[in-house]
């Protein structure tokens, strides 16, 4: 007996493979960014650093979900956090679009990340969170597809997936 794809999507918050895939995707995005930075010398701007923070937070939520997804409140918490973080990632992706294509005010950035004093990530892990360049178009990955294009697709997909997962959390409770 096969489960309907919509049903699978709605119940993804309780599925171990959903959270493992999310953690793997976020890890791949971070590894890719670090390769571009440290191997190919495409240094990150302020907006790129904020993208890394959103991606890392999604990675940690996915790991947390692996332990608490079996409980209603765990699925609810992780799905809601995931949706909020995906919206944050989408916002930073939009900022990259503005910079890359000069949309609206064209976007802007500083040469220093604005982290709170209680979490100076650029001091704790400068190899990952230190701004090293001014904002400009992101590097091409392949076939004219840039990092910004990938982030837009990933963030929109995550917003849709987490919205469906949240609906499924409540549907399953009823």
What was the pLDDT predicted at 8? 59
Closest CA to 137 of 99, 95, 91: 99
What was the pLDDT predicted at 38? 92
- Measured CA to CA, the distance from residue 80 to residue 166 in angstroms comes to 7
Higher pLDDT, 9 or 121: 121
Instruction: Classify burial at 39, counting beta carbons within 10 Å of its beta carbon; exposed 0-12, middle 13-18, buried 19 or more.
Output: exposed
pTM, two decimals, is 0.88
Structure confidence by residue, pLDDT tens digits, 24-55: 999 999 999 999 999 989 898 999 999 999 99
Neighbours of 134 (CB within 10 A): 13
85-89, 135-139, 160-164: which has the minimum mean pLDDT?
Answer: 135-139
Structure confidence by residue, pLDDT tens digits, 144-172: 889 999 999 999 999 999 998 888 888 76
Which contiguous run of DSSP H or E holds residue 141?
strand 140-142
Flag whether pLDDT at 75 surpasses 50: yes
Q: In the 3-class helix/strand/coil scheme, how is 39-89 assigned residue by residue?
A: CCCCCCCHHHHHHHHHHHHHHHHHHHHHHHCCCHHHHHHHHHHHHHHHHHH
Angle between helices 16-38 and 46-68 (to 10 degrees): 150
- Helix, strand or coil for residue 140? strand
Residue pointed to by tokens 């178009």: 137
Residue pointed to by tokens 């959270």: 19
Percent of the chain with pLDDT over 90: 48
Flag whether pLDDT at 1 surpasses 50: no
């Amino acid at each position: 007996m096969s489960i309907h794809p919509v049903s699978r999507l709605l119940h993804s918050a309780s599925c171990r493979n959903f959270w493992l895939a999310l953690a793997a995707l976020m890890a791949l995005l971070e590894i890719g960014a670090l390769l571009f930075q440290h191997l190919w010398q495409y240094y990150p701007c302020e907006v790129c650093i904020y993208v890394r923070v959103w991606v890392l937070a999604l990675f940690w939520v996915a790991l947390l979900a692996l332990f608490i997804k079996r409980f209603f409140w765990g699925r609810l918490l992780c799905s809601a956090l995931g949706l909020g973080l995906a919206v944050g990632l989408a916002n930073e992706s939009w900022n990259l679009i503005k910079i890359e294509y000069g949309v609206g005010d064209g976007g802007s950035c500083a040469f220093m990340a604005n982290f709170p004093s209680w979490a100076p990530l650029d001091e704790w892990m400068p190899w990952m969170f230190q701004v090293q360049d001014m904002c400009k178009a992101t590097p091409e990955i392949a076939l004219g597809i840039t990092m910004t294009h990938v982030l837009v697709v990933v963030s929109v997909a995550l917003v849709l997936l987490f919205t469906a997962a949240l609906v499924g959390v409540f549907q399953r409770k009823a």
